[in-house]
Structure 1
């Protein structure tokens, strides 16, 4: 009986020692998953797609929310304080995120990806070429986190797939826009958010409020100037960025005689419940179909299927 009891004590001691060693020196499979915070919906989808579960990605700004006026919640602050890496767009897209400080690496992805940006326009992702550059910055940052060699190799594969899909999105956009009659290749919206899109594809952009309303105020002289610019642009419609449509846009519509498009163009991130690719193709199809072109929805869905299959 004494021998059995002694063996039991020794076994218990060995198990305890083994547990203590395991806690002190966790194996790669036991190590905590690195926490990453992504500022807005575009970065969130991009980071999660690239990460593929190798990191714990938390998103701050929900799809459809206005990043320009976003304020951090206590839960946001906890996520940030517990993270190893915080990714923001930069160029003052999210003013509340530009002054973050803590025991983490803060990267302004857009500023690294697109340093040549004279107007400091934060809406970089409306050009897939810019989004591809942002993907490379994010992937490089994720590679620096404490993830195992297998995860690093998988990350490289996902990066290659993401870049390939974005290049095909760029080609697809160009093909769809080419179906719009030349006179109608214009995007008339309220704000200067689509310059990278229109510049990329040889379109004209009229930003009704930012270009013509002093301080955002629509005076009678401003209304006349906007109406004249809208008529001269030969656009078929005005493109809203939010529903319900603002009173200002309704006034401009009445004054210019141009109807308001039935579908939104999403200026400041991903659409609610939609991926980066779904939002981009939706924006393109909204513009193309409203301006007299023909958008290939089936090929847009194939791009999304490829995006969803990245792993």
Structure 2
């Protein structure tokens, strides 16, 4: 026999369970809504993604398209890239045709997001490809001072996207800019330790013109031009070997995103060593490597250049942030 009291207890228990489930559902809904309310930002290259993460912090949902070590010049988009770009509120890319496959995809119909060419905030160097063809050099990040302009462009793009987070974006950008200024000064000091007649670069592709111009070096030659799509001929290899011999450099450099086989051949035929550490050119390094951020990548490159060309390396230690190991 069910009494009135037991019936009442059953009703209260059921009500309690329903209330608990309702509150739990409300909490979950609130959490999801909060996460979903963050603007969606897509960055193409690993360098742009790293800078954007520093400026945007926890106020954005950031998706990077390229993985560390991937070559933006020859990257072929996959279906997942289309999905990410279509869902984005803001797309940040380098520009100057660094990532032609992704730029073509971005310009396709259905992409409603605002597109910002971060690298084009910097006035480009113009390179002669021969036969009267002059093109902009997209490797603007080789000069750390240029990257300050890129950071400002990212900051302004994020503020336009999410005005309520202006203060946070501005603070993050200012902190990053402070470290970039110190990096710029430090690189100049490091390169100055290399004997003047050895401040010459030979690399796999033409990605270090900005670096060389900013920090007092000369690019003696490269196997290929600004795009890694190019294939060097036997004549190009022979000419580079002769240039290396004439320049008298003690070492030449391979790059992390390009097969080192041909540059090794150049080193052997020219009678010089191949620097033991490859340079990061178009991508930062994998997580845990000595180049897994833009700043660490520039520090690693500078160390490799200084040590291989006879300079004296001193670790980079920014004064207003925790010291980094290098």
Q: State TM-score, norm by structure 2.
A: 0.79
- Checking the alignment, whether the CA contact within 8 Å between 1:123 and 1:193 is kept in structure 2 is yes
Following superposition, the deviation at residue 244 of structure 1 comes to 8.5
Distance in 2, Cα, partners of 1:40 & 1:134: 13
Instruction: Map 1:186-225 onto structure 2 (within 5 A).
Output: 186-210=200-224, 216-219=231-234, 221-225=235-239
Please state how far the C-alpha of 1:30 moved relative to its aligned partner.
7.5
Q: How does 1:48-127 map to 2 (within 5 A)?
A: 48-99=53-104, 100=106, 101=108, 102-111=111-120, 113-119=121-127, 120-127=136-143
How far residue 216 of structure 1 moved from its aligned partner, in angstroms, is 3.0
Which residues of structure 2 form unaligned runs of 5+? 5-10, 12-17, 128-135
Aligned residue number for residue 305 of structure 2:
287
> Over residues 269-296 of structure 1, what are the superposed CA-to-partner deviations in whole Å (9 max), with x where a residue is unaligned?
2111211111010000000011111111
- Asked if the contact 2:77–2:101 (Cα under 8 Å) also holds between the matched residues in 1, the reply is yes
Structure 1 unaligned residues grouped into runs of 5+ = 6-11
Match of 1:269 in 2: 283
Residue 254 of structure 1 and its aligned partner are, at CA, apart by: 2.0
Query: Please, what is the CA RMSD of the aligned residues?
Result: 3.2
Match of 1:253 in 2: 267
d(CA) in 2 for partners of 1:147, 1:169: 30
Counterpart of 2:8 in structure 1 is none
Aligned to 2:133: none
Cα distance in 2, alignment partners of residues 296 and 264 from structure 1 = 19
Check conservation: 1:277, 1:303, Cα contact below 8 A: no
Q: Distance in 1 between matches of 2:155 and 2:172?
A: 9
For 1:136-147, list aligned pairs within 5 A. 136-146=152-162
| Cα gap change, 1:77 to 1:307, in 2 (>3 Å) | farther
Q: Following TM superposition, by how much is the alpha carbon of 1:207 offset from its aligned partner in structure 2, in angstroms?
A: 2.9
- Give the number of the structure whose residues are more often strand, by fraction: 2
How many pairs are equivalent? 289
Contact in 1 for aligned 2:221/2:243 (Cα 8 Å):
no
**Deviation (angstroms), 1:118:** 2.5
Q: Hey, what's the Cα distance between the residues in 1 that align with 2:239 and 2:101?
A: 34
| Secondary structure, counterpart of 1:37 in structure 2 | strand
SS in 1 for 2:126: coil
Judged with a 3 Å threshold, the aligned counterparts in structure 2 of structure 1 residues 105 and 230 are, in CA distance, closer, same or farther, namely: same
Quote the Cα distance in structure 2 between the aligned partners of 1:194 and 1:244: 14
Preserved CA contact (<8 Å) 2:69 2:257: no
Structure 1 CA distance, aligned partners of 2:253 and 2:314?
A: 20
User: Residues 269, 259 of structure 1: CA spacing in aligned structure 2 closer, same or farther, 3 A cutoff?
Assistant: same
When residues 303 and 282 of structure 1 are mapped into structure 2, their CA distance, relative to the original with a 3 A threshold, is farther
Distance 1:107 1:243 in 2: 25
